[in-house]
Structure 1
Amino acid sequence: MIQYNFGRGEYKDWVVAEADFSPNHLKKFEAIMALGNGYMGLRSATEESYFGEKRNLFVNGTFNQADPTEVTELPNLADVTQIDFYVDGERFHLEVGEANDYVRTLNLKTAELVRSFTWTSPQGKSFKFDCRRFVSLDERHLIGMKVDVEALNEAAFIEIESTINGQTTNTGAQHFLNGIPRIYGDDQLEYTQTTRQSNVDVVVVSQHHLSKEAAVDKLMERRKVGVSYQFDIEPGETVTLEKLNVIYTSRDREFLPGGANQETIKQKAHQTLQQVSQQSYDQLLASHSQAWTEQIWGRYNFEINSEDHFDQLAVRFSIYHMMIMTPDHDSRMGIGAKGLSGEGYKGHSFWDTEIFVLPFFIYSNPKVARSLLTYRYYGLESARAKAKENGYEGAMYPWEMAFPDDGEVTPLYGDIDIVTGERSKIWTGLIEQHITADIAFSVNQYYEVTHDEQFLNDYGYEMVFESANFWASRYEWNEAKNRYEIHNVIGPDEYKEHVNNNAHTNYLSYFNLKLAIKYYEYLSEQSENVFDQLDQTFNLKANYEDWKEKAEHIFLPAPREEDEVIPQDDTYLSLKEIDLDKYKKQTQPRTIYKDYNQPQINKLQVTKQADVLVLLYLLEQTFLKADLGFNDLLKRANFDYYEPRTLHDSSLSLSTHAIVASDFEMMDMAYHMFRRASEIDLGTNMKSSKEGIHAASIAGIWSIAVFGFAGVRLTPGGLSINPTLPKQWNSMTFNIDWQGEQLRFEIDQDNCKISKDSMTELPITIQNQVLKLKDTLTVPLAFQYN
């Protein structure tokens, strides 16, 4: 079972632990204990193999299409982690014999996975195993492994078999041509593989060091190469195997601009392997852990004094996983919905990145945020192609994105329809179009927080103008009502397909047009050179008139007079209402599909995830807030109406609701939702993370703490702070970046202290009062628990 209190001393509230081994829970721990460094991600399968395990090694940005009938996905590379042990000729595993003192830990501070236990064979021979592993942040191509085996009571004959196994697949789909194996001497392996369709070359090399002399067998099977070490072990003796693995691909930045052939990649891999092999596992681990201290925890340190230590662990878990899944080294790559922890969603990027993950980097490391938005810029050409294919103009971003030039990669079919027994059609890639406006929103959010003019000049203006052109061509004129509308879409609430005038989509598209208008007017007055270049390419003057005309006539669903509720779409408020109590209390998501199919759910007043609420939360951060008349009464009315109808069947949903609940000082509800969001992956539900962690939900843990409890918010007037800590939290400290300065926050139940290094005066709105921050500012908090 999962445990949270194994950390001691300096590692208190840093350790996630598996306290007992169960073959039924393999996939849960493989995912939540995944290792990575943004370049590659390694699912934490055990060394010895078990039925039901899933071994995954991904290198970011190496997409491939296994078959013309399937969409492109991140391919599962050859596995380097399987090490099989044989005791007196019998293969060791924990389902035979007796295991004691079993514990596997992920130390978030050092980013090392450790597994230890004692095991007694059916013949009564006892051994102590200690298995360690890390994916280096110091040398991003390195996976380090170390195994200690100690004989406790009797002598035995031991065989350790270590391989590079290219027999891996993506749930049966084989992405690679037959690989080329090679063995050098008695201790070095090499495996070269090439993806079938995208022609990405991958080279994996492994170096072994055994602390004891042993007989060696060399193994070479189909798509597999390995070595086997055989030796006698005496009672009280410990034998150590260290295995260092180095991975390179032809997509790596080292080989830009022209790429590299297999021979060049192999030379580079062996050169790196030779360098790291000069050091021991412990020395390499020390350099890796130091990199985590300096690059990660020194920058993103987040301290919470809570009645429940789980809360501190949860925020660190959030930051840890955002670090290991984000390709901060390469702007040609995005973030998958499962990070690099599993095959779920095939490694594709969704709106999750811009709306849920990107804010962390915008406020914590703008350089990485810029890189992630640049990835979307590189996809602009394929977004234009998608728009053209669908009869529109401008840029229509794909719902799921892989290689920037791949275009739409959403699968066409999904789960079985519970009523018809047929495969359900996936409509999101065709009609869930709000992502185009969501990306435009994020461009503006990034700029307002960073004031990075160069990004707008190089990328941002073009992204906003072309997305505005899409919406201008997408609108449909309703002659009878004298307005433009948007028909046949899916909004963020994916339980409502083929709806007209989804509020989120209409309002965000309107924002997109108004942002393009704002940027146009600024450029034409303030930056003639940039304006002239863009005008020549995109005919901005003609588009500008079109944007203004469309913006004046686009239908924006208005709040009902009787209760201020904004209709989610044209029909939602008139749909049949049912008792949702059992679905609201569900322990697994999407149980409604056991009773209804999608066409039936379409006719019920039930919501999958935040839709109108995420609209209100986003747009209140923009220059449109006053024009649209969004206020707290409106937001509260919509929260009270939609939350009881929202099942939170998407992991994206809870963070928005928790933040909005915090805005209304509904702290019991907000804290409850924080815990629910934290427990999606980190909780005791052993089925929740089988296909990988939930990247947006994990980012949402941090967002609830910062945007919810600390009340940090981008507003039309600048930075606003309105802390309301839950009663369970005594204090919190964290940093954010704001327009080139790093601000340090110390918040407790009574006061909010903000400090920075410079003496430049910075206006900040705290509890609706504009104050000036020089170096330090302390403000008493108005909200107090009775």
Structure 2
Amino acid sequence: MKRTFEVQPWNVVSHDLNQDDKRLQESMTSLGNGYMGMRGFFEEDYSADTLQGLYLGGVWYPDKTRVGWWKNGYPEYFGKAINAVNYIKMNIAINGEKVDLATDEISDFSLDLDMKNAQFTRSFTVTKGAAKVAFKFERFLSIEIQELSVQRVSINNLSDAAVDVTVDANMNADVVNEDSNYDEHFWSTLSTKQELDRASLVTKTTPNPFGTPQFTVAVEQRFVTDLAPKAVEQPAADEVSNEFVGSLAAGATTTIEKRVVLTTSRDYDTEAALTAAVQEIGDKVAGISYDDLFAAHAAKWAARWEIADVTIEGSDEAQQGIRFNLFQLFSTYYGDDSRLNIGPKGFTGEKYGGATYWDTEAFAIPVYLGVTDPSVTKNLLKYRYQQIEGAYHNAKQQGLKGALYPMVTFDGIECHNEWEITFEEIHRNSTIAFAIYNYTHITGDKSWVQGDGSEVLIGIARFWADRVHYSALKDKYMIHGVTGPNEYENNINNNWYTNYMAKWVLQYALEILPDVDDKNAAKLAVTDAEKTKWQEIIDKMYLGEADYEGKHIFVQHDTYLDKDLTPVAELDPANLPLNQKWSWDHILRSPYIKQADVLQGMYYFIDNFTEKEKADNFNFYEPLTVHESSLSASVHSIIAADLHMEDKAVEMYERTARLDLDNYNNDTSDGLHITAMTGAWLSIVQGFAGMRVRNDELHFAPFLPKAWDKYHFRFYFRGRLLEVAVDKAGSSVTLLKGEPLTIDLDGQKLELK
């Protein structure tokens, strides 16, 4: 396999500036600090293809996409995270000639994403006539001061004579999104201020016809440099610029630092408060050196890595994969703000609109439960609770009772514009409830489900009780007209996963009701008639089963077994990936599965199924799965590990861990698969290490992949911090912090002190 980036344990490095891979390189070298983020595009202008993207947490705009066949219940708009002010621009000229890596003669090119310290470094040497100059660009987004972006450019004159250097440091609000159909700019500049050695601007999103919030952003740039500031005219109404010039002797080096502070109206009520905050933070950091700012930032990352790092010996590919995944996940979200969530592309691209999907509850929450303080996960639960009015609205739009959580959202209101998602992929509702269960199950903390979380759970239960219908013919409750997790089938009846999870939600709601606190019990007012109806649905929920070629199958939906069940292995490889080669009609008629569907439900409740049930269904469905969803491989890895199918478990781990590093699905150029980056950790901890919680007791049943020499990770469990180590000699679990604990390791009780 030809790789775009080198395999290194802590770094993502490339020495090749290939214009065809430019967008891929930008995705791979993205940075974020939870508050804001950016793709790894160049500071200076680049005249070839590039996707310049800087995004702000919680700042979005309603895309005016509307189709002619709009139906009752459709969302009014498709919300999207919008490109923000380009605040990192730094154009450079040598002897009056602008540096442009698309056309210049360059050598010694290097990109280096340092995952340990969250810094992106780029270096190259450019030759322009007799001038030869080496550049080194460094940048990081501080997690110590989240409103702060820091850049440093080092310029080394390798020529035999002096060269004139000009740096034009610009901030520009004239930006667009590629992945939308806007016919006008969505930022209007309210004010600008351009001084000799600093500049600022304030912008606001334009009014929209849907009444969604407008956002105001204030941003200021300041500098540390020996170059001389030069007075320049403001380049345009929505731009500000500072220019610095100097003559660099042969062999001499100079640097220029750019510090940008950015605040948004999410945190400040008025433009005056925004600009005052920018000024205050700018003054605070003005006297701090680059190295000290970076050290404070790196120290916080070190604290994250101390808990979260998974070390692997024997495979640099596997080691780089897990660290890259955790790095980009934590760059997107670390629980600092309950108003934010985790978009499938995070801050790395525009696809999926930057909005919240069910991925968070299904895949991200288990990781945060394992490697962060429970308060981080609690903020993700609060995010959904705070948006419950939107969930009631969504259900009402469909003519249904209860709460329907959105497939895609920024504010709780469904904002996806495809009918098979908005109307039909309602299985996501159950995963919101499952997240509450998962939090309670792992932490042992019942206060959320007994308090505010109960309103979320009961709202979802009431939705399912209304969404099912009774079949007199079969004396069963059914759910028709849905899309399951396998998005390669739409408008199907009795998707096993959807029905199974709806049944489980109703059962879980009945279980927790007696323990709900008095305040919430009175507010919810669940009647005896409701409870009786819920129990009847539980007892009579239709779940398709069939015997097929010696296997007992939970049938994915009513007509699935009627399809031509040719395995993926028998397809012409030229047809893959299907979503890039086949028509949508062809895909919908095929048996091929985009991601775990039946197996998703078995993954959630893996101990509820017999060994034969898991084996039969895995061996039936996995050969029909094309894994064209980034969320697919980890579920298959975990179930394969549970079945002791170690080679398959490792194969699926490698796919999920290096999905973007190796661009498996040829779709990383438009952004990374952030929520799927949970899969590597899940595959190791729940898969290879066999972590389970049974009857409030923690269990591990580890195995070591053949190509590895050792792996170890740390794990939070009910107020304790544990360390699990697995090598060729066996496995061990150590209690690092907390009260004594008895666990099960490979079937043996082990008391940890």
User: Shorter-chain TM-score: what band?
Assistant: over 0.9
* 3-state SS, counterpart of residue 402 of structure 1: coil
Structure 1 residue 233: Cα displacement: 2.2
Confirm whether residue 516 of structure 1 aligns to residue 509 of structure 2: yes
User: 578-587 or 729-738, which moves further after superposition?
Assistant: 578-587
**1:258-337, aligned counterparts within 5 Å?**
260-294=269-303, 296-306=304-314, 308-326=315-333, 328-337=335-344
Structure 2 counterpart of 1:613: 599
Q: Render the CA deviation track for 1:480-507: whole Å, top value 9, x for unaligned.
A: 1111100000000011101000011000
Structure 1 residue 59: Cα displacement: 1.5
Name which of 38, 43, 53 aligns with 2:34.
38
What is the CA–CA distance in structure 1 between the aligned matches of 2:397 and 2:229, rounded to whole Å? 63
Structure 1 residue 246: Cα displacement: 0.6
What's the TM-score, normalizing by structure 2? 0.93
Structure 1 counterpart of 2:73: none
1:119, 1:127 within 8 Å by CA — same for their partners in 2?
yes
Which amino acid in structure 2 is aligned with residue 401 of structure 1?
T
Q: Render the CA deviation track for 1:558-582: whole Å, top value 9, x for unaligned.
A: 3537411111000001112346347
Q: Render the CA deviation track for 1:280-299: whole Å, top value 9, x for unaligned.
A: 222211111111112x1122
What is the CA–CA distance in structure 2 between the aligned matches of 1:729 and 1:650, rounded to whole Å? 27
What is the CA–CA distance in structure 2 between the aligned matches of 1:369 and 1:324, rounded to whole Å? 16
**1:201-600, aligned counterparts within 5 Å?**
201-252=216-267, 255=268, 260-294=269-303, 296-306=304-314, 308-326=315-333, 328-365=335-372, 366-404=374-412, 407-412=413-418, 426-521=419-514, 523=515, 530-531=517-518, 533-560=520-547, 562-578=550-566, 580-581=568-569, 585=573, 589-591=577-579, 594-598=581-585, 600=586
Q: Which segments of 5 or more consecutive residues in structure 1 lack a partner in the other structure?
A: 7-12, 413-425, 776-786
Which amino acid in structure 2 is aligned with residue 402 of structure 1?
F
1:578, 1:604 within 8 Å by CA — same for their partners in 2?
no
Structure 1 residue 190: Cα displacement: 0.7
* 3-state SS, counterpart of residue 677 of structure 1: helix
2:449, 2:512 within 8 Å by CA — same for their partners in 1?
no
1:214, 1:231 within 8 Å by CA — same for their partners in 2?
no
Name which of 114, 118, 126 aligns with 1:111.
118
What is the CA–CA distance in structure 2 between the aligned matches of 1:707 and 1:750, rounded to whole Å? 20
In the superposition, relative to structure 1, how do residues 587 and 280 fare at CA in structure 2: closer, same or farther (>3 Å)? Answer: farther
Q: Render the CA deviation track for 1:731-773: whole Å, top value 9, x for unaligned.
A: 1111111112111111113322112146845342333x25142
**1:696-715, aligned counterparts within 5 Å?**
696-715=675-694
Structure 1 residue 716: Cα displacement: 4.8
Q: Render the CA deviation track for 1:258-279: whole Å, top value 9, x for unaligned.
A: xx10011100111101111111
* 3-state SS, counterpart of residue 223 of structure 2: strand
* 3-state SS, counterpart of residue 64 of structure 1: strand
2:229, 2:242 within 8 Å by CA — same for their partners in 1?
no
Structure 1 counterpart of 2:165: 158
1:161, 1:226 within 8 Å by CA — same for their partners in 2?
yes
What is the CA–CA distance in structure 2 between the aligned matches of 1:324 and 1:585, rounded to whole Å? 36
In the superposition, relative to structure 1, how do residues 685 and 617 fare at CA in structure 2: closer, same or farther (>3 Å)? Answer: closer
Structure 1 counterpart of 2:4: 2
Structure 1 residue 15: Cα displacement: 0.7
Structure 1 counterpart of 2:587: 601
What is the CA–CA distance in structure 2 between the aligned matches of 1:178 and 1:301, rounded to whole Å? 43
What is the CA–CA distance in structure 2 between the aligned matches of 1:337 and 1:550, rounded to whole Å? 34
Structure 1 counterpart of 2:74: none
* 3-state SS, counterpart of residue 209 of structure 1: strand
Structure 1 residue 63: Cα displacement: 2.0
1:763, 1:772 within 8 Å by CA — same for their partners in 2?
yes
Confirm whether residue 652 of structure 1 aligns to residue 631 of structure 2: yes
What is the CA–CA distance in structure 2 between the aligned matches of 1:99 and 1:556, rounded to whole Å? 63
Structure 2 counterpart of 1:185: 195
Which amino acid in structure 2 is aligned with residue 148 of structure 1?
S
Confirm whether residue 747 of structure 1 aligns to residue 726 of structure 2: yes
Name which of 151, 171, 176 aligns with 1:145.
151
Which amino acid in structure 2 is aligned with residue 73 of structure 1?
K
* 3-state SS, counterpart of residue 591 of structure 2: coil
What is the identity percentage for the equivalent residue pairs of Structure 1 and Structure 2? Answer: 28
Structure 1 residue 222: Cα displacement: 3.4
Confirm whether residue 88 of structure 1 aligns to residue 105 of structure 2: no
Which amino acid in structure 1 is aligned with residue 677 of structure 2?
I
Structure 1 residue 214: Cα displacement: 4.7
* 3-state SS, counterpart of residue 392 of structure 2: helix
What is the CA–CA distance in structure 1 between the aligned matches of 2:626 and 2:610, rounded to whole Å? 25
Which amino acid in structure 1 is aligned with residue 399 of structure 2?
G
* 3-state SS, counterpart of residue 2 of structure 1: coil
Structure 2 counterpart of 1:20: 16
Confirm whether residue 679 of structure 1 aligns to residue 689 of structure 2: no
1:520, 1:544 within 8 Å by CA — same for their partners in 2?
no
What is the CA–CA distance in structure 2 between the aligned matches of 1:129 and 1:663, rounded to whole Å? 51
Structure 2 counterpart of 1:782: none
What is the CA–CA distance in structure 2 between the aligned matches of 1:532 and 1:584, rounded to whole Å? 61
Q: Render the CA deviation track for 1:2-45: whole Å, top value 9, x for unaligned.
A: 33356xxxxxx111112111222221122221111111112111
In the superposition, relative to structure 1, how do residues 378 and 47 fare at CA in structure 2: closer, same or farther (>3 Å)? Answer: same
* 3-state SS, counterpart of residue 83 of structure 2: coil
What is the CA–CA distance in structure 1 between the aligned matches of 2:105 and 2:570, rounded to whole Å? 41
Structure 2 counterpart of 1:56: 53
What is the CA–CA distance in structure 2 between the aligned matches of 1:150 and 1:579, rounded to whole Å? 58
Which amino acid in structure 2 is aligned with residue 189 of structure 1?
A
What is the CA–CA distance in structure 2 between the aligned matches of 1:505 and 1:686, rounded to whole Å? 27
1:181, 1:224 within 8 Å by CA — same for their partners in 2?
no
Structure 1 residue 588: Cα displacement: 6.4
Structure 2 counterpart of 1:420: none
In the superposition, relative to structure 1, how do residues 541 and 189 fare at CA in structure 2: closer, same or farther (>3 Å)? Answer: farther
What is the CA–CA distance in structure 2 between the aligned matches of 1:606 and 1:442, rounded to whole Å? 28
Structure 1 residue 684: Cα displacement: 5.6
* 3-state SS, counterpart of residue 396 of structure 2: helix
In the superposition, relative to structure 1, how do residues 546 and 728 fare at CA in structure 2: closer, same or farther (>3 Å)? Answer: same
* 3-state SS, counterpart of residue 65 of structure 1: strand
In the superposition, relative to structure 1, how do residues 686 and 237 fare at CA in structure 2: closer, same or farther (>3 Å)? Answer: farther
What is the CA–CA distance in structure 1 between the aligned matches of 2:380 and 2:572, rounded to whole Å? 35
Structure 2 counterpart of 1:195: 205
Structure 1 residue 361: Cα displacement: 0.6
* 3-state SS, counterpart of residue 228 of structure 2: coil
User: 231-240 or 577-586, which moves further after superposition?
Assistant: 577-586
Structure 1 residue 98: Cα displacement: 2.2
Structure 1 residue 89: Cα displacement: 2.3
Confirm whether residue 764 of structure 1 aligns to residue 743 of structure 2: yes
Q: Render the CA deviation track for 1:299-349: whole Å, top value 9, x for unaligned.
A: 21221112x212111111111111111151111111101112111111111
1:610, 1:657 within 8 Å by CA — same for their partners in 2?
yes
2:575, 2:582 within 8 Å by CA — same for their partners in 1?
no
1:105, 1:115 within 8 Å by CA — same for their partners in 2?
yes
What is the CA–CA distance in structure 2 between the aligned matches of 1:557 and 1:764, rounded to whole Å? 37
In the superposition, relative to structure 1, how do residues 400 and 686 fare at CA in structure 2: closer, same or farther (>3 Å)? Answer: closer
Q: How many residues align?
A: 729
